[in-house]
Amino acid sequence: MKNPITPTVLAALLAMSFIMPAWCADAATDAAQVTQQASEMPALERAAAQAAGWKSVTVHSAAHQLTITVTDSPQASPAEREAQASKMVAAIEARIEKKPAFAQISVIHVDYVKRAGQTTSPVQGFDFYQTPAGAFVPHKS
């Protein structure tokens, strides 16, 4: 008696053997992009800090997202933070425009955090998604 599951399992394994290299290639490509982006991080941090008017700003990159973190910013209303976040994103957008290392960035996330000793706690966050025209606009939910 033949086992009908065996051909199905073999077909699935064969399909996976073709798909796996593609997954690994994307991870390698993403890592290469992050490496290329690393040299720009100090300039992006300066641009965001200048736009925010605050010195404690860091920028972290992933292949498809930039994260701006503002630590211990002065008290502000949510609307004031959103306006400040928009200024930082505009400054970053101007710096990364037409740079191949940032071509795959589709989201810029802005985090406001408060530091107490060795821990940080979130205050507020904003997401800016790239439009088909290439501009980053705030996500409204």
> Is residue 23 predicted with pLDDT exceeding 50?
no
pLDDT digits (tens, 9 = 90+) for 49-65: 999 887 789 999 888 89
pLDDT band at 22 (very low <50, low <70, confident <90, very high): very low
Q: How many C-beta neighbours within 10 Å does residue 107 have?
A: 15
Determine the Cα–Cα distance for residues 121 and 112; give it in Å rounded to an integer: 9
> Is residue 33 predicted with pLDDT exceeding 80?
no
| Residue 67, H or E segment | strand 65-71
pTM of the model: 0.75
- 97 with 134: CB under 8 angstroms? yes
Q: How many C-beta neighbours within 10 Å does residue 91 have?
A: 18
pLDDT band at 87 (very low <50, low <70, confident <90, very high): very high
- What CATH number is given for 25-132 in this structure? 3.30.70.2960
Quote the pLDDT of residue 45. 92
